[in-house]
Chains A and B, each alone.
Chain A
Amino acid sequence: EAQVTQNPRYLITVTGKKLTVTCSQNMNHEYMSWYRQDPGLGLRQIYYSMNVEVTDKGDVPEGYKVSRKEKRNFPLILESPSPNQTSLYFCASSLGGSYTEAFFGQGTRLTVV
């Protein structure tokens, strides 16, 4: 089954403790991205990757890192999480960088206390 898989689904952590949210897709998609979703603010892109070893900042990249060492994986790294990064995070992938629809994972609800 074609899917985007994120882990974990839920995470509570403390301020400053590094964490990684994993994302994997099995569709051989080139383009992957991370979003955060907050009430009233919709979906905001954090980072995206157009292919292996090619990443770029989205609209809200501060406090986040990503890497794309393999085509299928695109982990999101929070080196020093802060409470304002409490949010619902989604990973998405699409076939190519332009004009193609994105498929989303089920989300990771992160709480930073």
Chain B
Amino acid sequence: GQQLNQSPQSMFIQEGEDVSMNCTSSSIFNTWLWYKQEPGEGPVLLIALYKAGELTSNGRLTAQFGITRKDSFLNISASIPSDVGIYFCAGHDAGNNRKLIWGLGTSLGVNP
């Protein structure tokens, strides 16, 4: 099935640093969603984006829906140890809105 290109695959940073990750698609998307998964748990929605150019924040997290509608990024500012987890992007392809398309995730480690 179709998949999103999510990068980086993994990253390990120092507490207090800012983090940026992104997702790209080969086709136009109508929604972009960012999830976080902690060990042993299901993915939890962080931010949902529904319009091209939209910039939305959730605490220290900020995500944007790219103008081309083919990409999105997620930034985490001033990282803390509890930010550790796997971050997934997902979205609805404009040509097929019946299911979510997923990235493979970015694994984030934070060194206290």
Which of B30, B41, B100, B105 makes the CB contact (< 8 A) with A102? B100
CA A76 to CA B82, docked complex, whole Å: 32
Provide the residues of chain B in CB contact with A101, threshold 8 Å. Answer: 33, 45, 48
Closest chain B residue to A40 by CB distance? B104
Q: Quick one: which of B25-40 are within 8 Å of A by CB?
A: 30-31, 33, 40
Do A99 and B92 touch (CB < 8 A)? yes
Interface of B is mostly: strand
| Set of chain B residues within 8 Å of A105, measured between Cβ atoms | 42
Q: Using Cβ atoms and an 8 Å threshold, which residues of chain B touch A48? A: 98-99
Residue contact B104 to A99, C-beta cutoff 8 Å: no
Interface size bracket, A side: 20 to 34
User: Interface readout for A55-68 with B: 1 if CB under 8 Å, 0 if not?
Assistant: 01011000000000
- Residues of A9-39 whose CB lies within 8 A of B: 33
Q: Which of B1, B98, B103 is in CB contact (< 8 Å) with A98? A: B98
Contact of A41 among B45, B90, B104 (CB under 8 A): B104
> What interface size band does chain B fall in?
20 to 34
Which residue in chain B gives the minimum CB-CB distance to A60?
B1
When the two chains form the complex, which single residue of B30, B50, B102 contacts A42, counting CB atoms closer than 8 Å? B102
Q: Which residues of B contact A99 (CB under 8 A)?
A: 30-31, 50, 92, 97
CA of A56 to CA of B98, assembled, Å:
10
21 A-B pairs with CB atoms under 8 Å apart are: A4-B42, A41-B104, A42-B3, A42-B88, A42-B103, A43-B43, A45-B1, A45-B99, A48-B99, A59-B1, A90-B42, A92-B42, A97-B98, A99-B31, A99-B97, A101-B33, A102-B33, A103-B45, A104-B42, A106-B41, A107-B40
